[in-house]
Amino acid sequence: MKAAVVIDMGGTSLKFGHLLNEKPAGMFQSLATEALRRARDPIVFLAEAVKTYTEQQRLEPDTLIIGVPFTPDREMTTALSSPNIRNLEAAPIKQGLEAKLGLRVVLERDINLLLLGEWYAGAARGAGDVLGMFVGTGVGGCFLQQGVPFRGASGGAIELGHIPIRAEGRVCVCGNVDCLEAYACGHTLVALAERYDTEVAQIFEADHPLLKQESEAFVRDLAYAMATAINLFQPDLALVGGGIPAMRSFPKALFKNIFYDHLRKPVPETTVAFSWAELGSEAALWGAVALQKKG
Ligand SMILES: [Zn+2]
């Protein structure tokens, strides 16, 4: 049976799943991303993890597809930048894994893989132009035209997490100041929870007036970024996903109100549809299916 292993690399966990005959079989293993960050050689670490997974699942894959949180080089083989997993930078990801595993290795931006999955089998199915924002450890953006990611000149286009948003001088993981990710992403939510001595899950329900103000500013920053992207690209569909909007307490109505208030009238306000992602981490598997269908 034709098999392909898929890894969805997030800032918190590396999820391993696979396809059988180009259909998702499921995701069956999760490793802490911290173990990869600490690995002396990330390629050796990943190769060993793939071998263990294929043995456990009794697979003989011919392809490995990885959604990587990186700014790829033009050829999609290495990371020019990967601030959430620094030791991937300068590592020969594609060539190194192909040499160690004897498989065809396909790298894709993690966000592109998720949005491709939603386009192929989820909330963006059938949409022509789709702009997606995923909010997890970081914030990622992707623009798909009929299922083809817009890559820009360098391969890393739609860096929604790194558009400037306030002028308070906060330093971002990428080294710049005042990026969206310096104010509104998983990192900053954890920092907020620590500062107000509460749980991340409770942040959006807190009574504390200052925390309420800060959590609303968090939602506003994300909505501003998404409205900016939609005003620029005017797609058929705006899609928002990732672990943070999927939190039970995330104020979806507030997000959508701010988002629609800042769309240009009458277009794209009246022409863009809106959807929340619906596949969760399974989106990476469906994204891998879409990539395989394209060859
Ligand atoms: Zn940044």
What is the distance in A from the centroid of ligand 1 to the CA of 162? 4
pLDDT of residue 178: 98
What is the distance in A from the centroid of ligand 1 to the CA of 44? 29
What is the distance in A from the centroid of ligand 1 to the CA of 95? 28
Q: What is the amino acid identity at position 248?
A: R
What is the distance in A from the centroid of ligand 1 to the CA of 71? 12
Q: Express each pLDDT in 136-185 by its tens digit.
A: 999 999 999 999 999 999 889 999 999 999 999 999 999 999 999 999 99
Residues of the chain with pLDDT under 50: none
What is the distance in A from the centroid of ligand 1 to the CA of 149? 21
Per-residue tokens: 157: 């286009």
| Cα distance between residue 245 and residue 230, in whole Å | 18
pLDDT of residue 265: 98
Omega before 245 within 30 of 0, i.e. cis: no
Per-residue tokens: 209: 């007036």
Superfamily, domain 3-112+282-294: ATPase, nucleotide binding domain (3.30.420.40)
Where does 86-208 have alpha helices with state H?
Answer: 93-101, 110-121, 186-195
CA torsion 162→140→138→238, rounded to 10°?
Answer: 110
Q: Could you tell me the residue ranges of all domains in the chain?
A: 3-112+282-294, 127-276
Where does the chain have alpha helices with state H?
Answer: 33-38, 42-57, 93-101, 110-121, 186-195, 209-233, 252-261, 282-294
What is the distance in A from the centroid of ligand 1 to the CA of 158? 12
What is the distance in A from the centroid of ligand 1 to the CA of 122? 29
Write down the CATH number for the domain with range 127-276. 3.30.420.40
What is the distance in A from the centroid of ligand 1 to the CA of 285? 28
Domains 3-112+282-294 and 127-276 share a fold: yes
pLDDT of residue 90: 85
pLDDT of residue 1: 86
pTM score of the predicted model: 0.95
Per-residue tokens: 265: 């009238």
What is the distance in A from the centroid of ligand 1 to the CA of 165? 10
Laid out side by side, the sheet with 148-149 consists of: 148-149, 139-145, 129-135, 237-241, 273-276
What is the distance in A from the centroid of ligand 1 to the CA of 52? 35
Q: Decide if 238 contacts 226 (C-beta within 8 A).
A: yes
Q: Decide if 292 contacts 61 (C-beta within 8 A).
A: no
